[in-house]
Structure formats: C-alpha cells, structure tokens
Amino acid sequence: MPRRIETIAYHDSATPPIGDIQHGGGVLMGAIDDLVREARVGSLWPLTFGLACCAIEMMSTVAAKFDISRFGMEAFRATPRQADVMIVAGRVSKKMGPVLRQIYDQMPEPKWVISMGACASSGGVYNNYAIIQGVDQIVPVDVYVPGCPPSPDALLYGLIKLQTKIRGKRLGGLIELTPRTLEQADDQHH
C-alpha cells in the first residue's frame, strides 16, 4: 500500500490526522481495506453452474486460449461453500429455480452472481411456461452478459466488469442505503 504510506509521510496540519476520509476512513483501515479488496478481486472462485450451451463457452474460457487463470479464477468449485461468484450459464427452468436459490444461499458472503447469456438474463427465445424469464427474479445479479452464447472474450469482459465493481466497493459497505431509507432515517432524526 505505498499510496497510504505516502499519506502519512506528507502529513501536515491541513490534512486530518485520520487520513483520507473521503476514500474510506483511517490510514490503517484503508490499507486493510485495499488489501482485502485486492484479495477478493484477485481470487474470485467461480461456481460451476452450467445449465446449457453457455457452459461450453464457460469451459473454453478456462481452457488455454482464453485462460481465466490470468485473473485468478481458474479454481472452479463444485461446492457452493468454496465459491465466490456464481456464473449462471444457461436457461433456468421453473424446477431448477429453487435449486439455484438454495445453492446461492449456501455460498459464503461476499458473493456475486453473473448472469451469462440471453436465457439466464431474460429467458431469450424460450418465452414459455417452463423457463424463468430472467434469473434476477430469484437471485440478485451483479453483471449481465448478453449473447447466445457469449463468446469466451465476452464472458471475460463481464468478469472484468465484476472486478471493477468489487474494486469500487468498500468494506462494511455491503448494505447499501437507498435514498428512501435515508429519508426515513432523516425523518426519525428530526
């Protein structure tokens, strides 16, 4: 964390002693924050949740040509207890929905979901009684990757977008207050 050490070195009376308040609290906590965040970004372990043809593209993302291990994500886990990011690859039927939700609940926090492909994101061409029209009806989705199926580089782009999202998130900032909740808190205060 050279950036943080620099803050101490050039400290003067104009700078608040606890450091960079706008960017997440004190000097020590900021350093830990950065460290944990980089660890999370650099070792996203995906959960194998291949349901259809998108899974083939997900597999070839792991293979030598695209090599997902360049981003520290090569450790695909078959158990949700050891996974960080769930890549929902393929169409989710109404019967698969509860299974998907249970597997999502079994993943430890912090966890992310990538909805890969048209079918997982919105149902795609399968606008019928059997397919869930968008996996975001049962789990919160972080990144949508359109395509049918998305090519491995399109999935990699989605994963890079997810990494950007995690980098922008501070520790302890897991509960996001909506403007409405803030207003209610304000009302109680007055």
Partner 1 sequence: MTNIIRDIVWPIASGMGITLKRLKERKVTVFYPEEKRPTFPRTRWRHVLTRYDNGLERCIGCSLCAGACPAKCIYIDSAENTDEERYSPGERYAVRYEINMLRCIFCGYCQDACPTGAIVLRDDFELSDYNREDFLYTKEMLLEPMPISFGK
- Site mask for partner 1 (CB under 8 A), range 69-98, x = bound: -x----------------------------
Site string for partner 1, 44-73 (x = CB under 8 A): --------------------xxxx--x---
- State in angstroms the smallest separation of the CB of 170 from partner 1: 17
CB of 125 to partner 1, least distance (A): 5
Amino acid letter, residue 115: S
Q: Which of 161, 169, 170, 171 binds partner 1 (CB under 8 A)?
A: 161
Among 11, 94, 101, 165, binds partner 1 (CB under 8 A): 165
Q: Which of 132, 160, 140 is nearest to 86 (CA)?
A: 140
* Smaller CB separation from partner 1, 20 or 74: 74
Residue of the chain from 118, 131, 132, 139 that contacts partner 1 (CB under 8 A): 118
CA 2 to the chain's CA centroid: 26
Q: At residue 29, what is the residue type?
A: M
- Show the 3-state SS of 99-145: HHHHHHHHCCCCCEEEEEHHHHHHCCCCCCCCECCCHHHCCCCCEEE
111 binds partner 1 (CB under 8 A): no
Identity of the residue, 13 or 127, whose beta carbon is nearer to partner 1 in the bound complex: 127
Q: Is 128 in the site for partner 1 (CB under 8 A)?
A: no
CB–CB of 162/44 below 8 Å? yes
Task: Please work out, in degrees rounded to the nearest 5, the angle formed at the alpha carbon of residue 70 by the alpha carbons of 40 and 151.
Answer: 100
